[in-house]
Amino acid sequence: MAKRVVAAAQSGDMRAAEIVMKRIMPERRGAVVEFEMPKLETVDDAVEAMARISAGVTNGELTTAEAADLAGVVETWRKTLETADIARRLEALEASRTVN
């Protein structure tokens, strides 16, 4: 079936081409949010980002849904930073126990 749709698209069938394109390049979900965030490098940056997000909702610059999406990005980044820090600490602890 898929081969027939692709062949039809290659033959100029615009409906088939549309079907193929929707599979290859699906429509983007959500909208791009124009909102200035700090570069996330430290936990303090995450705190600043969350403060900006909160202020954005308060002043009407962000909807609550947009704020929730941005907060999710910040929280995922924070968890990643935390996990990396725990891994480094564990490696250092294991290395110090091996040496002694």
What pTM did the predictor assign? 0.64
R_g of the chain, CA atoms, integer Å: 23
What is the distance between the alpha carbons of residues 80 and 40, in angstroms, rounded to a whole number? 11
What is the distance between the alpha carbons of residues 33 and 60, in angstroms, rounded to a whole number? 13
Where does the pLDDT of residue 100 fall: very low under 50, low under 70, confident under 90, or very high at 90 and above?
low
pLDDT of residue 88: 95
Contacts with 62 (C-beta within 8 Å, 6 or more apart), sequence order? 33, 35, 53, 56, 70
Whether 75 and 69 have beta carbons less than 8 Å apart is answered as no
Whether 66 and 27 have beta carbons less than 8 Å apart is answered as no
Whether 93 and 56 have beta carbons less than 8 Å apart is answered as no
Tell me, rounded to whole angstroms, the distance of Cα 42 from its chain centroid: 18
The pLDDT tens digits of the residues spanning 11-32 come to 888 898 888 888 887 776 777 7
The pLDDT tens digits of the residues spanning 46-67 come to 999 999 999 999 999 999 999 9
